Amino acid sequence: MRVAVVEDDLSIVNLLKRVLIKEGFSVREFSTAERFLSAVFDYGEKFDAVILDLMLPGINGVEACRFLRERGSDVPVLMLTALSEEDDKVKGLDSGADDYLTKPFGIRELLARLRALLRRRGKVSFTPEPFGIVITDVGALVDGKEVKLTGRERELLKVLLENRGKVVSKEELLQKVWKGEAVSKRVVDVHVKHLRDKIGDRIETVWGVGYRLVERTPE
């Protein structure tokens, strides 16, 4: 799975390279949009996705994206936007980009959004975000879709996700989510139920022990 990273900030490039390679993508980096476009149109390089910075020297992200679309490319584009204080800098999102992310961003959210784009284009990401779940500030991204969660639900999912694949006992959940508040053990059940309703049957009951986050609903 080839990903082009078009970005002039070296620290971001290096971060992305490290993470993406670790996740099994092959990464090609470009410091300017011109070089990237040249690679695509002059040398016929193909990419499964493009991570494109909005502010670039010379041709910027918006123009580059428009250029791609005008020439019929439907490669998924994830736009990175910085929120600069300067008002005279032109910021904009081209309608041709598929998604955007504001710097500074969380790596896991970036990966989740990238995979969601690939999935939408019918390309299966072979190293999916563990369990396709990322905690966000409003709840969670589940298979690229935003799901709103309440405070408790979010915390509960967070603990389960941190221990994904492993069984978490009710005692541990009570301790980590309810911080030793004096509540009935049954609250866990209720919130698990609500979580299941929202994110689908990904929480497995391990009888007599606790709960476990699983990849998919096992039959």
- Type of residue found at 175: Q
Give 135-157 as a 3 state SS string.
Answer: ECCCEEEECCEEEECCHHHHHHH
- Position 17: which residue type? K
Q: Does 128 bind a copy of itself (CB under 8 A)?
A: yes
- Within residues 51-110, the interface with a copy of itself by CB under 8 A covers 60, 62-63, 66, 81, 83, 87-88, 90-95, 102, 106-108
Residue 107 interacting entry, from DNA, a copy of itself, none, C-beta within 5 to 8 Å by type: a copy of itself
CB of 98 to a copy of itself, least distance (A): 14
Contact partners, residue 72, CB within 8 Å, separation at least 6: none
Could you give the string, one character per residue 137-156, with x where binding to a copy of itself holds by CB under 8 A and - elsewhere?
xx-----------xx-----
Tokens of 51: 């991570």
Q: Pick one of 24, 38, 171, 185: the residue that binds a copy of itself (CB under 8 A).
A: 24
Q: How far is the CB of 44 from a copy of itself (least distance, A)?
A: 25
- Using rule CB under 8 A, residue 43 touches a copy of itself: no
Residue 166 engages DNA in binding (rule: CB under 7 A): no
String marking each residue 167-186 x if it binds a copy of itself according to CB under 8 A: x-------------------
Q: Is 51 or 177 the residue whose CB approaches DNA more closely?
A: 177
Please classify residue 66 by burial: count the beta carbons closer than 10 Å to its beta carbon, then call 0-12 exposed, 13-18 middle and 19+ buried: middle
Q: Please give the Cα distance from 187 to 36 (Å, whole number).
A: 53
With helix as H, strand as E and coil as C, how does 107-132 read?
Answer: HHHHHHHHHHHHHHCCCCCCCCCHHH
Report the C-alpha gap between 213 and 165 in whole angstroms: 6
Q: How many helices (H) and strands (E) does the chain have?
A: 7, 11
Which of the stretches 64-72, 98-106, 123-131, 151-159 binds DNA when contact is defined by CB under 7 A?
151-159
Site residues (CB under 8 A) for a copy of itself? 19, 22-24, 60, 62-63, 66, 81, 83, 87-88, 90-95, 102, 106-108, 111, 126-130, 137-138, 150-151, 162-167, 206-209, 212
